């Protein structure tokens, strides 16, 4: 398994609360802004989409690509971050 970023570790270490979308691993300023413009302003709103897609990482990654233009690494990092958060807190 590949190593995770500090951003990923920070995110999955605690409850999500009202964290902004940019705190998700793989989501930087540019993608965060694009997601915010489409109504996905908080990490929990993106988590909601992940759950609506039944935690299917491939579907989620495709959705992220279509919604904000995330590349393969960005979408993989974000999906992995949400999966690990779900494993810890749901």
Determine the average pLDDT of the residues in 62-80.
98
Average pLDDT over the chain, rounded to an integer = 96
pTM for this model (two decimals): 0.94
pLDDT tens sequence across 19-48: 999 999 999 999 999 999 999 999 999 999
Distances from the Cα of 52 to the Cα of 1, 6, 48, 56, angstroms: 26, 27, 6, 9
**What pLDDT, on a 0 to 100 scale, did the predictor assign at position 1?**
46
Task: Answer whether 4's CB lies under 8 Å from 21's CB.
Answer: no
């Amino acid at each position: 398994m590949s190593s995770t970023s500090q951003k990923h570790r920070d995110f999955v270490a605690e409850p999500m609360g009202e964290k902004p979308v940019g705190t998700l691993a793989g989501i930087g300023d540019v993608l965060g802004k694009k997601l915010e413009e489409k109504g996905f302003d908080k990490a929990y709103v993106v988590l909601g989409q992940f759950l609506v897609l039944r935690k299917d990482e491939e579907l989620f990654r495709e959705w992220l690509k279509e919604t904000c233009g995330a590349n393969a690494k960005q979408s993989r990092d974000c999906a992995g971050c949400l999966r690990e958060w779900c494993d810890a807190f749901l």
